[in-house]
């Protein structure tokens, strides 16, 4: 019995020694790992600062020379900055404990990367590899924001654990991300690139709604108005939503610049069982459109969509104004009508009252077809059209228009008559109805 106890005592001592040795080993390894992480953090922190400076240097380079090589270098440097900052963020957070402040900063950098690699580069390419004044202003703004980012980064890199707590502040990283998103949005979406145009006050907008949609004047539910103007594809608008309890019943977009209706959606169900034909739906759509727009000539198109669950057919109409034999793609009006009850469920129009630009034809039709011969295979010339797009900075531009001759191909291409460059591409699912006039059909 004594011998057995002695062996147990030795075994316990041996296990204790092994345990202490293992703990010591792992403690040493953990300290070494922590030191390596710390060293990696220092190295990557230095690389972040270097990447910021490289990107700012690339901006100077493209502004000074305007060369394609400098544009490529700018894209490379901004992508490298995002990659390195992402690595630094990963080192300073875990999946279990993410650092929201750092992720917000990374989100801002991703927005900047997209604006440079896609938007700025596309503008540059579409203008025969030349920068416009708007592009220069945009570059100046992002240079300024990168300089600010450098200061913010130096402020937070030693406070990473501290800024995980929102009460301690984020060192300005969140505000910087919001600023870069605003800069990018104004460059990509504003009808005056890099700027906000003058907006109507919200009181005037609400008065305008009462005038153009008087049927909503007696609405008994709640109404929610966006405080800030929204911007998308050259349209600056206030969004007004109408609710019955928690259910959205109407949604309206009103142009913040001129007070015109840009979108109307009706989510109500009227319970009517009466079915309307395509011709009847067309009349309803035109009548609704004429409350807001009135054109002498238009091209009609329609696409019928059937809801497989309800078997209800939605007639989606597209109306394209014609001015002096020029197709005004910029001013397209779209109206969706339900076949069940004939209710207008959606109306949309981005621009109206566009004046045909007085542009001299610099590039001939033959030159365009020769330059873009591969793109224009199996496509036919469809006349002069006016478009607005990101590539025109949402200003009206006269173009040569083409559409595919293949039934399964729904592409339409538009080329600037001044530069010969493609400035717009559309995919139309609408079947033509007829060429009509106000006197005959309205």
Confirm whether 331 is domain-assigned: yes
Last residue of a domain, one of 268, 300, 323: 268
Tell me: do 382 and 441 sit in the same domain: yes
CATH classification at residue 222? 3.10.450
Tell me: do 305 and 424 sit in the same domain: yes
Tell me: do 105 and 219 sit in the same domain: no
Confirm whether 40 is domain-assigned: yes
Tell me: do 212 and 307 sit in the same domain: no
* Cα–Cα distance, 317 to 232 (Å, whole number): 22
pTM: 0.83
Confirm whether 1 is domain-assigned: no
Tell me: do 264 and 280 sit in the same domain: no
The pLDDT of residue 176: 95
Domain range spanning residue 243?
198-268
Last residue of a domain, one of 189, 221, 247: 189
Residue pair 413/380 in contact by the 8 Å Cβ criterion: no
Band (pLDDT 50/70/90 cuts) for residue 438 is: very low
Tell me: do 90 and 206 sit in the same domain: no
Confirm whether 57 is domain-assigned: yes
How far is C-alpha 46 from the geometric centre of its chain's CA atoms? 33
Tell me: do 16 and 113 sit in the same domain: yes
DSSP secondary structure string, 341-357? T--EEEEEES--SPPPP
Confirm whether 5 is domain-assigned: no
* Cα–Cα distance, 315 to 285 (Å, whole number): 9
Would you call 184 exposed, middle or buried from its count of C-beta atoms within 10 A (0-12, 13-18, 19+)? Answer: buried
Listed in sequence order, the DSSP H helices in 275-402 are 278-289, 365-371
Nearest to 195 by CA among 257, 255, 152: 257
Tell me: do 183 and 288 sit in the same domain: no
Confirm whether 4 is domain-assigned: no
Confirm whether 2 is domain-assigned: no
Residue pair 347/335 in contact by the 8 Å Cβ criterion: yes
pLDDT tens per residue, range 257-305:
999 999 999 998 766 778 888 899 999 999 999 999 877 788 888 888 8
Residue pair 417/384 in contact by the 8 Å Cβ criterion: yes
Tell me: do 239 and 178 sit in the same domain: no
pLDDT tens per residue, range 199-254:
999 999 999 999 999 989 888 889 999 989 999 999 999 999 999 988 999 999 99
Number of independent structural domains in the chain:
3
Tell me: do 252 and 378 sit in the same domain: no
Tell me: do 210 and 162 sit in the same domain: no
Residue showing tokens 């406070």: 159
Confirm whether 68 is domain-assigned: yes
Tell me: do 365 and 416 sit in the same domain: yes
Last residue of a domain, one of 170, 189, 208: 189
């Amino acid at each position: 019995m004594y011998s057995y106890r002695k062996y147990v005592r030795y075994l316990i001592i041996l296990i204790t020694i092994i345990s202490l040795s293992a703990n010591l080993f792992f403690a040493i390894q953990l300290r070494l790992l922590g030191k390596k992480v710390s060293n990696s953090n220092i190295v990557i922190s230095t690389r972040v600062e270097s990447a910021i400076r490289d990107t700012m240097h690339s901006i100077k380079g493209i502004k000074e020379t305007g060369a394609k090589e400098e544009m490529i270098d700018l894209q490379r440097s901004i992508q490298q900055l995002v990659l390195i900052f992402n690595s630094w963020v990963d080192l300073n957070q875990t999946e279990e404990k993410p650092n929201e402040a750092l992720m917000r900063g990374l989100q801002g950098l991703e927005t900047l990367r997209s604006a440079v690699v896609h938007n700025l580069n596309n503008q540059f390419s579409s203008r025969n590899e030349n920068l416009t004044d708007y592009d220069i202003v945009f570059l100046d703004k992002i240079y300024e924001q990168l300089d600010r980012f450098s200061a913010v980064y130096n402020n937070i890199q030693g406070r990473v654990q501290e800024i995980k707590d929102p009460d301690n502040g984020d060192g300005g990283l969140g505000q910087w991300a919001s600023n870069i998103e605003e800069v990018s949005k104004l460059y990509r979406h504003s009808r005056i690139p890099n700027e906000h145009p003058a907006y109507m006050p919200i009181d005037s907008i609400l008065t305008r709604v009462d005038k153009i949609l008087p049927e909503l004047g007696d609405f008994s539910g709640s109404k929610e108005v966006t405080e800030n103007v929204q911007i998308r594809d050259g349209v600056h608008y206030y969004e007004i939503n109408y609710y019955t309890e928690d259910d959205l019943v109407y949604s309206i977009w009103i142009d913040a610049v001129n007070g015109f209706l840009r979108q109307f959606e009706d989510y109500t169900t009227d319970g009517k069982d009466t079915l309307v034909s395509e011709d009847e739906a067309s009349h309803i759509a035109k009548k609704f459109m004429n409350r807001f727009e009135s054109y002498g000539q238009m091209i009609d198109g329609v696409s019928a969509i059937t809801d497989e669950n309800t078997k209800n057919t939605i007639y989606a109409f597209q109306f394209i104004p014609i001015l002096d034999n020029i197709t005004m793609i910029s001013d397209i009006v779209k109206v969706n009508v339900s076949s069940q009850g004939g209710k207008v469920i959606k109306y949309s129009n981005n621009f109206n009252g566009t004046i045909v630009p007085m542009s001299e034809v610099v590039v001939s039709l033959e030159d365009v077809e020769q330059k873009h011969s591969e793109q224009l295979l199996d496509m036919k010339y469809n006349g002069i059209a006016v478009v607005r797009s990101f590539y025109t900075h949402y200003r009206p531009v006269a173009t040569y228009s083409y559409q595919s001759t293949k039934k399964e191909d729904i592409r339409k291409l538009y080329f600037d008559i001044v530069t010969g460059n493609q400035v717009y591409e559309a995919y139309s699912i609408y079947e033509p109805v007829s060429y009509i006039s106000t006197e005959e059909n309205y």
